[in-house]
Amino acid sequence: MLKDATDRAAVERAMAAVNQIVLGKTEPVRLAFACLLAAGHLLIEDVPGVGKTTLAHAIAASSGLSYQRIQFTSDLLPSDILGVSIYEREAGTFRFHPGPIFAQLVLADEINRATPKTQSALLEAMAELQVTGDGETRALPRPFFVIATQNPVDMAGTFPLPDSQLDRFLMRLSVGYPDAAAERAMLAAEDRRELLAELKPCLDAARLIQLQQQVRTITASAALIDYVQRLLVASRNHTGVRVGLSPRAGLALLAAARANAFLAARGHVLPADVQAVFAAVAAHRLVPSADLARSRDALTADLLRQVGVD
Binding site for other proteins (CB under 8 A): 219, 221, 223-224, 238-240, 267-272, 275, 289, 292-294, 298, 302, 304-310
Between 8 and 207, CB nearer to other proteins: 8
Between 57 and 296, CB nearer to other proteins: 296
Q: How far is the CB of 292 from other proteins (least distance, A)?
A: 5
Q: How far is the CB of 40 from other proteins (least distance, A)?
A: 22
Are 196 and 22 in contact, with CB atoms under 8 Å apart? no
Between 190 and 310, CB nearer to other proteins: 310
Are 309 and 272 in contact, with CB atoms under 8 Å apart? no
Between 164 and 239, CB nearer to other proteins: 239
Between 137 and 295, CB nearer to other proteins: 295
- What sign results for the dihedral spanned by CA atoms 183, 188, 193, 198? negative
Q: Where does the chain have alpha helices with state H?
A: 5-21, 26-37, 52-63, 78-82, 116-128, 163-166, 180-188, 192-198, 205-216, 222-237, 247-263, 271-282, 296-306
Q: How far is the CB of 307 from other proteins (least distance, A)?
A: 6
Residues β-bridged to residue 173: 44
Environment class of residue 98 by beta-carbon count within 10 Å: exposed (0-12), middle (13-18) or buried (19+)? middle
Q: How far is the CB of 309 from other proteins (least distance, A)?
A: 6
Q: How far is the CB of 71 from other proteins (least distance, A)?
A: 37
